[in-house]
Amino acid sequence: MPEPGNRRILAFDFGTRRMGVATGQEMLGSGQPLAMLPARDGIPDWSDIQQLLAEWQPDVVLVGLPLNMDGSENDMCARARKFGKRLHGRYHVAVEMVDERLTSFEAKGDVLSAGGSRDFGRDGVDDRAAVLILETWCREQTGGSA
């Protein structure tokens, strides 16, 4: 595995109907939207995940943890953690959970300010949220603040 600071990253914004995916490199500290995968009750088509992992070969996989604003966990946190454990179990990749409070809210604002519609399913909110999860994690690695 590459040294910290030079890792390839794949980030997931977990959702029950869609999962946003982003890729990036820790050294750059930024990500780019990669895909929005359909999910059925939080379960993706695992062959889509396998294909992304094979193509991008990440050193670490991030999964957003949708904590409540007070830092407490909710049902979606348990589901996101389960998804992360399945990723690790199926593909033997390093998985880290990342606090994603406000990323979806920020992603919606980004889409609207770029002229997107309020029909967020078509305008990349989920993959933009995955980018924000990735960038949050990169800042945390360098001790930076949000």
Give start and end residues of each alpha helix (H) in 57-122.
Answer: 75-91, 103-113
Domain spanning 8-141, CATH architecture: 2-Layer Sandwich (3.30)
C-alpha 100/C-alpha 104 separation (Å) is 8
The residue with greater pLDDT, 125 or 49, is: 49
Lowest mean per-residue pLDDT among 5-9, 40-44, 108-112, 115-119: 115-119
Residue 98 has pLDDT above 50, yes or no: yes
CA atoms within 13 A on the CB side of 35: 16
Domain boundaries, the chain: 8-141
